[in-house]
Structure 1
Amino acid sequence: MRALTYQGPSKVRVENKPDPRIEHPQDVILKVTRAAICGSDLHLLHGLVPDTRVGCTFGHEFTGVVEDMGREVKSLRQGDRVVVPFNISCGSCFYCQRHLTALCENSNPASDVASGVYGYSHTTGGFEGGQAEYVRVPYADVGPMKIPDDMDEEEVLFLSDIFPTGYQGAEMGEIKAGETVVVFGAGPVGLFAMKSAWLMGAGRVIAVDHIPYRLAFAEQYAKVETVNFKEVGDVVMHLREMCGGRGADVCIDAVGMEADGSKMHTVLGLVMKAEAGAPTAINWCIDTVRKGGNVSIIGVYGPPWNLVSIGTAMNKGLTLRMNQCNVRRYMPHLLEHIRSGRVDAKGIITHRFSLEDAPQAYHLFAQKRDNCVKCVLAPHGHA
């Protein structure tokens, strides 16, 4: 098959790889119909995630058609169209029984941190990703959700990760009716966090970023107020003043490790490799939210440590919640939001590419050129 492969920092190419095969009786093989490029894939591209191995295939947001299946698979049949959660979960362990599928202890037993993840580093199990013509899906009765016959792949593609992630980010903020929510990061996850904040009754939603086209897109797509932090001097003071001097009720970090911030964090994190990403967005959340407020962290950071203002959070009486998204628990609910027209999930797609053009798509997305918000790949034929 043809598949995107990692060739070292900032280098990917499409080449021939062996077709995936059934390795366990609960596996299925999917013919991939759509695969998205995620901001988390850029962390891999830039060499920021440990144990990302040359030759591996990225991609944890994908839909596909069942081509082959193990003998123990009960809920799927050949020809079924499915969308697949990015985290791989067994459905039966201590965490899966509690719907904490992002913490499954059987799909990635070598780690005490995260479940298995498609197309990420070997720290998440070394599973091949979906930016390919075919992909193996373990525990096929647990994760994949059938795509309704009256819906197309792109309508549901983002149920694989970024819509549930944004929704969980808003949910963890425990937003109450009429509250003010500040979302740091106007990328795809941030956009869905903004849309979800409205669904949960927010009275005001403010997006913070520094890229004008992303802020303009957020204003149009999510109907939010926007702040360009490079144009306001002290962004924390600016936001607090916007919120009556007290601060926002809820702040959501949808940025993660590659935040633009202080030079100290840039040196520690990117040059010395002594810090797992700049915690700029986390600290802005802590400083911006009101006393007794909630901070929700869905931006991706790596271990082992970051210079987070935990003392300020303690003294302000804040509640901090964070997690990789437990995708499967949200998929049926969010499908109904899409079907009803409350959320146009495919509306964030700005660019479509064939699989052969995936390297071009990566660099366009990474360099934020051509007003790119979200790229989607079509592994079979042209997008």
Structure 2
Amino acid sequence: MKALCWEGVDKLAVERVPDPQILNDQDAILKVTLTTTCGSDLHLINGYIPTMRAGDVMGHEFMGEIVEVGPGVRHRKVGDRVVVCSFIACGRCWYCTHDLWSLCDNTNTNWELAQEIFGFETGGVYGYSHAMGGYKGSHSEYIRVPMADYGTFPVPDGVSDKDALYASDAAPTGWMGAHLGGVQPGDVVAVWGAGGVGQMAARAAELLGAERVIVIDRLPERLAMTEQYIGAETIDFSRTDVDAELRERTGGRGPDVCIEAVGMEAVSNNVRHAYDKAKQQIRLQHERPVAVRQAIYSCRKGGSVFILGVFGGLADKFPLGAMMNKGLTVRGAQQHGHRYIPMLLERIAAGELSPGHLATHEMSLDEAPRGYELFNNKKDGCVRAVFRPHG
């Protein structure tokens, strides 16, 4: 079958790889209908995740049709149209039974690598390096889905493939940021990043009752999309002092909840960005935590900061003093999608959430390298590129 493979830093190629097979009785084989780029994929392409190997299949956000099931699969059948959570979870360990699905004890087959990097293993992830299990990704014609009874979710009739696609990762990640960030009715919420996850976090905050939601970015097309489809206020950080602007809009206090949805390759228009980028390029630090710093400094005293962007290691100049002395609650997580996806599909079916607008560029799998070039370099207004492996 055809698949998009990582072949080195800034090197992607569509290649022929072996067809997936049932390896465990709880596996399913999925015919991939749609699969999309994600901002966290760029960390792989740009070489900031060190445990990639040439030939690894990319992609972790996808939906499709089940074409084969193992003998242990009880609740899914051939022909089901499903969306798949990007994290793989067993459904039975302590973490899964406590709704902490991305921390599953049993699905990261390379747990030694994860322990070396994070101090503890996480769950497995499709197409996201050998530290996260070394699983084949979704930018392919077919994919093996372990623990299919837990990780696949039937798509309701009337929900389009494109809307369902973003229930795989962007929508549950954004919802988790607003939910675990503690958004309450009447809150003012600020979101750093107007990509797919940032927009979904903003919409989640609205649905959870936030009085005002303010999204911060520098790309005009993303800011315009956020205003049009999400209805949130926006700030272009390249044109103003974000901290001063947020204080002005919140009576001097700052937002109640700040959500960082950018990650380890954040940019800014101040000298700290140059400092972070230089240290990251020569591997003296792993991250460019510009947006995290700004969220901590801008959040009101006693407020909440949630880190949604992907980070892989150590960050310099972390504002620990501000966090402690301001009495902030700071949390972060990879998405516990199994906790949120059924509810999100219901909201999509009811018309409360419509993430399909994120798919700005649709193309065949053969064109995937060009899709990532557009996505990585923010060309042609690309917010998300979506690939159709079967035409």
Show CA shifts across 1:101-129 (max 9, x none). 10001001513232100011100000000
Cα distance in 2, alignment partners of residues 212 and 178 from structure 1: 28
Show CA shifts across 1:318-342 (max 9, x none). 0111111100110111111111111
Cα distance in 1, alignment partners of residues 182 and 77 from structure 2: 39
- Written as runs of structure 1 = structure 2, the 5 A alignment for 1:129-278 is 129-232=137-240, 234-261=241-268, 262=272, 263-269=274-280, 271-278=281-288
TM, length-normalised to structure 1: 0.97
For the aligned residue pairs, the C-alpha RMSD in angstroms reads: 1.1
Alignment partner of 1:374 is 2:381: no
Q: After superposing the two structures, state which structure 1 stretch, 212-221 or 131-140, moved more.
A: 212-221
Show CA shifts across 1:166-199 (max 9, x none). 0010112211211111110001000001101100
1:60 is displaced (CA, Å) by 0.5
Cα distance in 2, alignment partners of residues 306 and 171 from structure 1: 28
Cα distance in 2, alignment partners of residues 246 and 320 from structure 1: 18
**Is the CA contact (8 Å cut-off) linking 2:289 and 2:315 kept in structure 1?**
no
- Written as runs of structure 1 = structure 2, the 5 A alignment for 1:210-359 is 210-232=218-240, 234-261=241-268, 262=272, 263-269=274-280, 271-359=281-369
Partner of 2:117: none
Partner of 1:47: 47
Partner of 1:35: 35
Runs of 4+ aligned residues of structure 1 deviating over 4 Å after TM superposition are: none
Cα distance in 1, alignment partners of residues 346 and 381 from structure 2: 29
1:7 is displaced (CA, Å) by 1.1
Cα distance in 1, alignment partners of residues 193 and 121 from structure 2: 25
**Secondary structure of the corresponding residue to residue 321 of structure 1:** strand
- Written as runs of structure 1 = structure 2, the 5 A alignment for 1:76-115 is 76-109=76-109, 110=111, 111=114, 112-115=120-123
TM, length-normalised to structure 2: 0.95
Cα distance in 1, alignment partners of residues 201 and 208 from structure 2: 10
Show CA shifts across 1:217-267 (max 9, x none). 1111111111111111x3222222222211111111001101013211111
**Secondary structure of the corresponding residue to residue 82 of structure 1:** strand
Partner of 1:59: 59
Partner of 1:23: 23
Cα distance in 2, alignment partners of residues 197 and 177 from structure 1: 9
1:372 is displaced (CA, Å) by 1.1
1:307 is displaced (CA, Å) by 2.9
Cα distance in 1, alignment partners of residues 213 and 351 from structure 2: 20
Report how many residues are paired: 379
- The sequence identity of aligned pairs, in percent, is 46
Cα distance in 2, alignment partners of residues 149 and 175 from structure 1: 31
Matched AA of 1:41 = D
Show CA shifts across 1:13-51 (max 9, x none). 101111011111111111111101111111111111111
Show CA shifts across 1:300-331 (max 9, x none). 11124443111111000001111111001101
**Secondary structure of the corresponding residue to residue 213 of structure 2:** strand
Q: What runs of 5+ residues in structure 1 fail to find an aligned partner? A: none
